[in-house]
Chain A
């Protein structure tokens, strides 16, 4: 107790800085978290938390007993890992490429353009993609003219997961570079200068200075991404499901949507949310441990 008051007095400034943010998280994240109890209830919004009945682990049982659950989780993980493998490094590569441009003017112009798609909603993005890659789109026309038969990239169940990843890269690669630019900007210029003086070419400078400079951010984002493996673009997938069917396109969030939200059953959603949280926590703890073992700062 005395140690606490001592610490409080000694580090008054830091605790003061801590206060507003922590207050926010407690009030608007931890207070509502009591609502997680919905996961163990046959929850009815009208009857409320006090009026709804407790049903133990039934909501979880509903998830696990569902014949589609296994394929849903598999789809989710496959899509997630495709995104980690391809969509995650894409902005890093683009940022390095842009950074190697000499002209500041070109660099800025390109940056401004590549981040545009981020601002269009999925409804529009998908409509535009359809006009280019759909069955009546530009690509299909080209195939027809070349006598290659019909093609509809947008409605191919086998390649659907790749299509999703491509869409994500296209929409967010530019947006994703921003944070890496900030990291690159905080690398002292002197480092490059002395490396150049020592005879290191552009590639070696990128490899030995830029990359290590942004490594902490990369590691951080990767760990956070791993904590999120069970969430993949709900809206993006929901909108395209009719074209390829649920077998290829059912992910945890859409699964919950059809069974929980549209089925009037909020407990299923809460149970799935809790499950995601637990698995995400495990992933993050494991990833963080690995990162630290590899000599990085890690996340915490």
Chain B
């Protein structure tokens, strides 16, 4: 944790302004924390006690969690999700950073501008699920964990954002390095990357969250339920509204899971990815650039 020590050039806080800010922020916090509090508290409700209108359940119980863990599906899917997220994020960051840096050279190098257009166009035109499925199948990725990574390896949005940050880096630094005889590769590795920790952290977070949250591809590409990631399992626990209900079954041995079980699955599917954030936070709450130059 950084201290709240105030740099000499910052004026002492104004009481009124601080109080005002405090109130605004307090309000925001309250509104934002409500749903998650609701979900967590209700995951500890006994199945009968869940109230549909309240934050605090009338009767507490761990039964939702014991029910879930007895099945074994959730534990397994958590491991799958963690692995996919780790491997996927590392690969995606590597591909995105290299491509984004290369794409900053639109002025200097022939072909790069065309490449940038190609990347941009993928944001606007997408092929749709069936053609994508056919390609994934053609590469033999069906029923493989790679089907959850390779087809979504890079997002044009992230590439463009990272490129934008790279473009903001002060040119003088590159010039100096070039004078010293550094090649493009070493400039990229030794200057660009260390100066871009903030954006790397952000884009890494974007990828990690995207990998963690995706279930649709897993649904399409994995037939074997024992390979499912957590979000697909979650999707099967929590009924998804209208389209679902029109197909509702009539003679169901298993009624849909009780609300507390659904909430418990939501908690298990959400908390692991929430933990990532505080670790990355330090990279973008502090001015990294000054530190880098000094060092």
Chain A residues at the B interface, C-beta cutoff of 8 Å:
3-4, 7, 11, 13-18, 20-22, 24-36, 38, 45, 94, 97-98, 100-108, 110-121, 123-125, 128, 131-132, 136-137, 170, 174, 178-179, 181-190, 192-193, 196-197, 201-202, 216-217, 220-221, 224, 227, 235, 238-239, 241-242, 257, 262, 266, 269-270, 273-274, 276-277, 280-281, 284, 297, 299-300
Contact = CB atoms under 8 A, between A and B. Distances in A.
Contact of A38 (B2, B11, B128): B128
B131 A201 contact: no
7 contacts: A17-B98, A30-B118, A36-B131, A104-B2, A105-B2, A136-B53, A224-B160
B95 A97 contact: no
A21 to B, nearest CB: 3
B124 A28 contact: no
Given A24-B154, A119-B274, A182-B201, A216 B39 contact: no
Given A28-B150, A186-B168, A193-B7, A269 B288 contact: no
B131 A4 contact: no
B6 interface: yes
Contact of B202 (A31, A35, A117, A178): A178
Contact of B289 (A123, A186, A276): A186
A237 to B, nearest CB: 11
Which DSSP category, helix, strand, loop or mixed, fits chain B's interface? Answer: helix
A32 B116 CA distance: 19
B102, B116, B150, B159 — which one has the most chain A CB atoms within 10 A of its CB? B102
Given A14-B105, A102-B10, A192-B9, A185 B288 contact: yes
B225 interface: no
A22 B99 contact: yes
B38 A113 contact: no
Contact of A128 (B35, B183, B243): B35
A110 B29 contact: yes
Contacts of A18: 98-99, 102-103, 112, 115
A76 B246 CA distance: 25
